Structure formats: structure tokens, C-alpha cells
Structure 1
Amino acid sequence: MLLDAWRLALGTLTAVRVPPPEQVDRRVAGMAMVLAPLAAVPLGAAVTLVGLLGHWLDLSVWVTALLAVGALVLGNRAFHLDGLSDTVDGLASSFDAERSLAVMKTGTSGPAGVAATVLVIGLQTAGLAALFGRADWWQAAILGGVAVCVSRAALVICCARGVRPAREDGLGRTFTQTVPRSVAAISWLLVTVVLAAVGAWAGFPWWRGVFTAVLALVAVGVIVSRAVRRFGGVTGDVFGAAVELALVAILVGLS
């Protein structure tokens, strides 16, 4: 079961090719969401590597940061950005839940979704540029990669018990309400500890990591609660939006 969960997490959340899981049920799906930060290690490593190479090649920190965001987008096939765009379009389209869900399901990006995508990419780039420009640049580059990994813990909030699905098909049936609340709480406690410890190692005061983890949790909580009120629950698109907003909050908090 653990191997199936690992394959599901890695194959879904990254562009890394892995054998398909032999079995996918709600237990496997829930475990995959808990493993999401570990499955994102290749993405975090890519961001760190781009940051290091940018310094060694004497590139502008802004160019380096934008290349790092580009590597991240390629590494997950723009999966989460697509969810962000669809979610914002759904929120902007109508106060009727069915109409909003229909808009989200079309897969096209409207003005609101495009604006949200540009804003999120811009904030992520600015946050990484601030990290890459620090004097302790190589530790900060590693911290940027860690930020990418821990942002995927947003998925345990989306899949926590009590957060109902907006639809009974797709991701709603398989992934939602598969993570016990206690496990979700422990996951975010670990996120807080990791950000505080790695942040302190990279030259930040320990409380900055704690503040950043809380900021990310609030951002995820806001988008999830908003989705529940407007759509009747969460969808796979909301999962992607939560991950992108968590990463924005972490990078902004560290910048």
C-alpha cells in the first residue's frame, strides 16, 4: 500500500515517470496526500539547482528566480496553476454553485484566472529572487527548494475529514476526506518545524519560519473555506489553487 501511495503521489504531482500503482482506493489516496511533500523533492531540487547555477553563472537574481519558477511549472506540468486558474474563474463567474462548477470544468482560462496566474507567478518569482539575492545564497537556494516541498502539505488540508467534495466524481470521490484531522495537524506541525529549522540554518530568525507556516496555513484555509461556501466543497482544481497559494505565502513570508 505504501508503494502504491508513493507511486500515486509522485506520478500525480510531478512529471517524473513511475509505474502506475497496482491499486488506488481511499486509503492509498489519503496516504499519497500525506506523502506529497516528499514526492515534491524532485521539484524542490530543481528549484535549488537553478538557484545555484544562476549564482555561479552570475545571472540576475530575477532571471534566476523566473527560470526556477519555469522549472517548477515544467516539473509538475502546470498542474497546480491550471487548478488555480479554474478555481478563480469559478469564483468570479457566478454565485450559483452549479454554474461555477461548470465554468471550472471547461478547462479554459478567463480574465480572472489569467490575472491570478500572472499574480501568483510574479509573487513566487519575487519571493525566490529575494532568497537568491541573500548573502548566504546557497543556504537560501536550498530553503527555496524546501519551500516548494512543504507547500504540498496544503493537500492534507484539502483532504482532511470534514472537508466535503463539491462533486461525487473525479478527485472528489477518491481523495476528499481521506486524511484524519490529527494527521493533517501533525503534518502542518512538521511543516512549521522544518521551516523554522531550515530557515534558522539559512540565516533567518527561527520565528520567521513559524510565521511563514502560519501564513501559509491561513492562505490554504481561506481558499478551502471559500470553495466550500461557493461550490459546496472542494475539487481537484481547488487542490491546485491551495498548493500555489501555500507556496506564495511561504515565499512571501520568507522574503
Structure 2
Amino acid sequence: MRLAFGTLSVLPVRVPYVDRAVAGRAMAAAPLVGLVLGGLAAGVLAVASYADTGPLLAAVLALGSLALLTRGLHLDGLADVADGLGSGKPPEGALRIMKASDIGPFGVLALLFTLLAQTAALTQTGARHGADAAAVAMVVAAVCGRVAIGLGCLRRVSAARPGGLGAMVAGTLRPATVVGLAVLLAAAAAGLGAAGELGPVRPAIAVGAGMLAATALLWHTVRRFGGITGDVLGALTETAATTVLVVLSTG
């Protein structure tokens, strides 16, 4: 748990010892980090809604707080993966681009459209179904993004390069673990939706869509890079979370 929160959040947690077994369990615990961070962001959204800021500003504040709570880690991974994929270079060249500290045009575009989609979707959910539904969407999206991290840690998924988070966690989780977490989240999301305006069906579908979108991205990145990196895990998080928010904003 210390490693999960220390790696995936801004919380200053000290981790005395890390090996692949510990790292794998930390990635399995990532949804709990998403639950805490999503809950805090939902709290920001609720306070903003109570202050009558309007759904747009409430969504911006909630998403901004989530970015702060993660040090922008997953957004940075998304941008790096977009630059690597957009470069069209062989795996070695693409990985060098991803490791560079600067951001290229593909990364800028990926961040721009992802944040616009998240903000628009969360705003639409709040305007259509109310602040409580938007808060539920925030939590479900945050947790689903961290469940999607497990996809990159599945057995038979290799690391694209030695060293780094990708090499530490690649191949550490069984498929049953990730599937179980996804099913548990879908059931919990359906329950939360049934208690409010969203209903039980759409939240469960949103979780499934988020996991499918992340799976498609994982397949493409593994094919292009030869495996995963820490940046790929961040991109999986943002892809799943964005898909959940978009699906919940429809209907």
C-alpha cells in the first residue's frame, strides 16, 4: 500500500524495500489509490457545486485537483506515449523520444483533446444529471483508470526496456486478478448509479468500455514498442478514465 500511494499519488510515503513481488501487489492495490484520489476530487466538485460555480468550473476544479494529487504523472505518460507513437520511428527511436524530458506536438495534442474531453464530459454529466452524478462519475473514472494499470502488468506482457517502473511491474499480475477488479468495479458502479440519476446500466457499461479502450491501447503500444513502460501505464490510466467519463455523459 505504501508503494502504491507513494508511486501513484503526491503523498510523501516512504517505502523501505521494493522487489517485483511487492511492486505487483502495489499495482493490484492501485484501484484503492484511485478511490481515495477520486473521492477527494469528487469532494472538490461537490464544494464547487455547493458554491454555485456552475458545472463547467466545478469540473475544471475537480479535474485540476486530481492532476495535482497525482503530480500530473499519468498525463505526462499519456503525452510521452503519444509522442512515441506519433514519431513513426522503430521501437528504439520511439522509446528515446518518450524518455526525453521535453514534449512534442503529438503529446500536446493528446493532452489538449484528452483534457477537453474529460472536462466536457464531466460538465455534461453535471448539467444533465446533477452534481451527485458528476461526483459518482469522477470516482468511477478515477478507479477504472487505476484498474487499467493492471492490464499492463499482466503475465505475458513484457517490459519495453530494462529498468524503470515498467520493468519492475511487467508480468506480475494474473489475469484473474485484473478481471476480478474490473468486475468488482462494474458492480460497485452499477450500485452507485442505481442510487442516483445515472441508473445501474450506464456505469457498468462505462467501466467495460474504459477497460476495452485501455486494452486496445495496450495492444497497440506493445506491438509498437515491444512491451510496456511506466509511461504506457499512465496512458492506460488516462484512456480508461476519459472513456468512462464520455460514456457516462451520454444518454
Q: Same fold by TM-score, threshold 0.5 exceeded?
A: yes
Q: Which residue of 2 aligns with 1:71?
A: 65
Tell me, in whole angstroms, the C-alpha distance in 1 between the residues paired with 2:44 and 2:23.
31
**Which of 64, 74, 80 is the aligned partner of 1:80?**
74
Counterparts of 1:140 and 1:241, CA distance in 2: 23
Change (3 A) 1:117 1:135: closer
Deviates more, 1:144-153 or 1:230-239: 144-153
> After the TM superposition, which segments of 4 or more aligned residues of structure 1 sit over 4 Å from their partners?
none
Q: Counterpart amino acid of 1:59?
A: T
- The equivalent residue for 1:112 is 106
Secondary structure of 2:17's aligned partner = coil
- 2:44 paired residue number: 50
Q: Which of 238, 241, 252 is residue 246 of structure 2 equivalent to?
A: 252
1:124 corresponding residue in structure 2: 118
Identify the range of structure 1 (31-40 vs 232-241) with the bigger mean alpha-carbon deviation.
31-40
Is this contact kept in 2: 1:43–1:72, CA < 8 A?
yes
Which of 150, 164, 167 is matched with 2:161 structurally?
A: 167
Residue 51 of structure 1 contacts residue 132 of structure 1 at CA under 8 Å; is this kept in 2? Answer: no
1:182 Cα offset (Å): 1.2
Aligned to 2:2: 7
Deviates more, 1:240-249 or 1:47-56: 47-56
Q: Secondary structure at the match of 1:133?
A: helix
* SS across alignment from 1:233: coil
Q: Is the 8 A contact 2:133 2:198 kept in 1?
A: no
Task: Answer yes or no: is the 8 Å Cα contact 1:95–1:230 preserved in 2.
Answer: no
Of the three residues 34, 50, 55, the one matched with 1:40 is 34
Q: Give the match for residue 17 of structure 2.
A: 23
1:116: Cα distance to partner? 0.3
Measure the CA separation in 2 of the matches of 1:113 and 1:145.
26
Please state how far the C-alpha of 1:74 moved relative to its aligned partner.
0.5
Q: In structure 1, which of residues 207, 213, 220 is the aligned counterpart of residue 201 of structure 2?
A: 207
Correspondence for 2:97: 103
* TM-score, with structure 1 as normaliser: 0.93
Q: Percent identity?
A: 37
State the shift of 1:228 in Å: 0.8
Letter of the structure 2 residue corresponding to residue 84 of structure 1: L
Distance in 1 separating the partners of 2:202 and 2:30: 23
Distance 1:218 1:150, change over 3 A: closer
Normalization by structure 2: what TM-score? 0.94
After superposition, residues 141-152 of structure 1 pair within 5 angstroms as 141-152=135-146
**1:216 is the counterpart of 2:210:** yes
**Offset at residue 139 of structure 1 (A):** 4.6
> Does the Cα contact within 8 Å between 2:46 and 2:135 map onto a contact in 1?
yes
Unmatched tracts of structure 2, length 5 or more: none
| Counterpart contact for 1:86–1:107, Cα < 8 Å | no
Q: Which string of whole-angstrom CA distances, capped at 9 and with x for unpartnered residues, describes residues 8-56 of structure 1? A: 00011111122x2222111111111111111223321222112111211
What is the SS of the residue equivalent to 1:241?
helix
On the 8 A contact 1:134/1:140 being kept in 2, the answer is no
